[in-house]
Structure 1
Amino acid sequence: MTSNPNDSQTALYHDRPFVLDLFINSAIVAIPEPALDLVGAFLPALLTAVLIQPDPVRVVDSGTVDILRGALSNITYNKNIAKIVESLNVTEIRADLIYLSGEEPGSSIMSRNSMSSGALAAANWLQEQFEGYGASCEQIGFRDGWAPNVICDYPGTDNSTGVIILGAHYDSRGRPFPDRAPGADDDGSGTAHLLAIARGIKNHNVQFKSNVRIAAFAGEEQGLVGSRAYAKYLRAQDANVTLMIQADMLAYHDPSEPMQLGQPDRYALPEANQLIANVSRLYAPELTLGWTDGCCTDHQSFTEQGFPATSVFERGLDGGDIVDPMYHTSYDLVDRPGVDLEQLRSISKVVFAALLHVSGYELGSSKLE
């Protein structure tokens, strides 16, 4: 873990790392801000850096919660939504994923560490892809020398200020070779799910009633740095975020277990979790639902700022622990045992269907329920 450099206790040790407290499976460590970029290179694979947020977590506005409760009360199976989400294609998902992981011969992305040239190349490639699917994109920097967040918008037709955000982080970690950080599962899989949904929007000429935003974050592996900067920016703008859904690690599947969808047991709005659960049962009954106590990913940044948020994960059995043996290593590749692109597709169907239900939509000029 890392603590905020503005915290008074951390400031006492501003020039060097310092252990503030030890626990059985974790520690609180003060790290000078310039050293954040080194965290991923030296942490063991199974340890994750999480920045401690010194500010109090904001409460979600009751009106926003009511919007989600209204959506929940009206969710029933919709054959048009089913048709749209069933069109998601594993072959296309795989093509995106092997490009991001550097397994595609035409890809030059050997690492997506937030401070690498590969991450910058990935940001440019992602913007090009999303814009090709009809979104309007920009790259928003948050720290000198780091890859930017890639933020892409689909304007709604109802002229409201409300926005639904789908997120994933495109940066990665790799050990024992920091220069080879393919991050196929963590979190190329979540990023590929964003691309699959964007492609579905384009292929079906979906026009959303609410504003929809796709956010590919950098800096997650150093402690949610990119998403925290962006969520704070949105709070400062008093943005009207209706829902935020983060996807992190969707593709690994232990062959001895069923395909799964794990939901967070913390930092998530209960109504948002219930929405995902209900939609999953309607459009992806092949998934076994469960809870994960895995911590943390970028939805936490939005929860801290009082925005309604949740996440989707690849495992929900036995506490939803991470079972991918190549997590945070240089061997997190697509073409290896256990990577299940059908599971990735199924979770993508759930997120896409949830988006369509909450936003409302039209297909071309035909208004649908």
Structure 2
Amino acid sequence: MKFLSLSLLSISALSACVSAGPLAAMDQLRLFSSQEPELRLIQYGEDTPPRWMTEADKEALLRAGVKYMDITEYPHPPVSSLGSEWKPFIPANARYQDEVAPFIGNLTTDTMKEVLTEFTSFRTRYYKSSYGAKSCRWLIQQIRDVADGFDHVSVEEFEHSWDQFSIIARFEGSNKDLENELVIVGAHQDSVNMWMPSFGRSPGADDDGSGTVTIFEAFRSLVHNGFNPERPVEFHWYSGEEAGLLGSQAVSNAYKEDGKRVVAMLQNDMTGYVGANGEVIGIVTDHVDEKLTDFLKNLVDNYAGIPYVLTKCGYACSDHASWRKVGFPSAFTIESAFDDSNHYIHTTGDTIDKLSFDHMKEFSKVAVGFAVELSHKRD
């Protein structure tokens, strides 16, 4: 594949040089031409050696539909401070239906509609843009408003070298013996326009505004209806997924280095579009933990009102890949079979009018079941 060598930022810089006048333009062009583009280490297959690429090359991969991880900051899996003796226990079947039922019964599409309407009003949520920085600050305030007044629930920023931070909301566990173990439900908050990544209009209603509000609603119902888990449960909204899983890599590597024990992680990426083959929950079967994925099937059977379909998504398809890479069980639900999913993503056409909030609610049910069931200690 031949990649583009001149980024949109480069084009903007050249335009600025020309408009500055002949002499100033000559000076600026000399400076510009002397600067080498930043190189990033990109991997787009488990068995494929990583390659150094420019940001323009990364954008070409995005437009070509090639999924990748930008591993520049994390070329090697971290070593845990606790060693490798601990192994998470994944159950085979749901057991806490009576506990889960009230949380599911209190789910509503009203809050999801309100949050997603505002969330998609930002011009873009591109992770390096000023809009992305504003959107994450708006989102964290909504999450903090939900958690306000609940002492066992905290909401924190996970900062990055760019301005759009990731968000971590945490339920503290009641069992002190399990305080270093945790369950994670995630989504990504950023969006991207594949033709003009830095500034192009990118409402990102489905990718991944739908996943963002899906887990927001699950979190809201758990908080407001008295969820008190045995082991800690966290809800994550990642930055920089569209640029190679940057935010989730930072969080997962930090957790691994700190010796945290992640029992299971569930990613919700694109949960709002109903494909041509009808309403289903897509369960991804490649590049995931097999045992956790089998348990996820059982959760859909127990808690969702629609069936699941098995599908494949490819390498580095979403943020669950970051957790799998550092050795923790992860799984991934998507709105349909992958080839029946929303083809408007990464464009100006990824808007709310194409989505079903009732469909998102089915994923909220599964997220609630995941959080409750895995928060309990089982042998």
Is TM > 0.5 for Structure 1 vs Structure 2? yes
**1:49 CA drift (Å):** 4.2
Q: CA–CA distance in 2 between the matches of 1:18 and 1:235?
A: 23
Which position in structure 2 is the counterpart of 1:115? Answer: 128
Q: Is the 8 A contact 2:42 2:53 kept in 1?
A: no
Which position in structure 2 is the counterpart of 1:340? Answer: 356
Which position in structure 2 is the counterpart of 1:253? Answer: 274
Indicate how the Cα distance of structure 1 residues 315 and 29 shifts in structure 2: closer, same or farther if over 3 A, else same: farther
Pairs within 5 Å for 1:85-234 = 85-102=104-121, 109-134=122-147, 135-143=153-161, 145-159=162-176, 160=178, 161-176=180-195, 178-234=199-255
Q: CA–CA distance in 2 between the matches of 1:174 and 1:280?
A: 32
**Unaligned stretches of 5+ in structure 1?**
2-13, 103-108, 362-369
**1:284 matched to 2:304:** yes
Q: Deviations over 1:238-293 (max 9, x none)?
A: 11111111111111112x31212222222211121011110100111413332223
Out of 226, 233, 236, the residue aligned to residue 257 of structure 2 is 236
Q: Deviations over 1:31-76 (max 9, x none)?
A: 24xx38x9459842744443367536999967533x21xx325x24
Task: Please list every run of at least 4 consecutive aligned residues from structure 1 whose deviation after the TM superposition is greater than 6 angstroms.
Answer: 16-23, 56-60
Which position in structure 1 is the counterpart of 2:7? Answer: none
**Which of these two proteins has the greater Rg computed from alpha carbons?**
2
**Unaligned stretches of 5+ in structure 2?**
2-35, 148-152
Q: CA–CA distance in 2 between the matches of 1:100 and 1:351?
A: 21
Q: CA–CA distance in 1 between the matches of 2:324 and 2:292?
A: 11
Indicate how the Cα distance of structure 1 residues 187 and 27 shifts in structure 2: closer, same or farther if over 3 A, else same: farther
Indicate how the Cα distance of structure 1 residues 61 and 258 shifts in structure 2: closer, same or farther if over 3 A, else same: farther
Q: CA–CA distance in 2 between the matches of 1:187 and 1:269?
A: 22
Indicate how the Cα distance of structure 1 residues 343 and 287 shifts in structure 2: closer, same or farther if over 3 A, else same: farther
Provide the identity percentage: 23
Out of 272, 291, 306, the residue aligned to residue 327 of structure 2 is 306
Q: CA–CA distance in 2 between the matches of 1:193 and 1:85?
A: 12
**1:321 CA drift (Å):** 2.4
Which position in structure 2 is the counterpart of 1:64? Answer: 87
- Aligned-partner SS, 1:97: helix
- Letter of the aligned partner of 2:348 in structure 1? S
- Aligned-partner SS, 1:262: strand
**1:84 matched to 2:103:** yes
Q: Is the 8 A contact 1:146 1:219 kept in 2?
A: no
**1:20 CA drift (Å):** 10
- Letter of the aligned partner of 1:342 in structure 2? D
Indicate how the Cα distance of structure 1 residues 20 and 235 shifts in structure 2: closer, same or farther if over 3 A, else same: closer
Indicate how the Cα distance of structure 1 residues 77 and 335 shifts in structure 2: closer, same or farther if over 3 A, else same: same
Q: Deviations over 1:65-105 (max 9, x none)?
A: 3x21xx325x2462341232132111221111111111xxx
Q: CA–CA distance in 2 between the matches of 1:285 and 1:31?
A: 45
Q: CA–CA distance in 2 between the matches of 1:281 and 1:20?
A: 38
Q: CA–CA distance in 1 between the matches of 2:207 and 2:279?
A: 17
Q: Give the structure-1-normalised TM-score.
A: 0.79
Q: Is the 8 A contact 1:266 1:293 kept in 2?
A: yes
Q: Give the structure-2-normalised TM-score.
A: 0.77
Q: Is the 8 A contact 2:287 2:314 kept in 1?
A: no
**1:321 matched to 2:339:** yes
Indicate how the Cα distance of structure 1 residues 20 and 127 shifts in structure 2: closer, same or farther if over 3 A, else same: closer
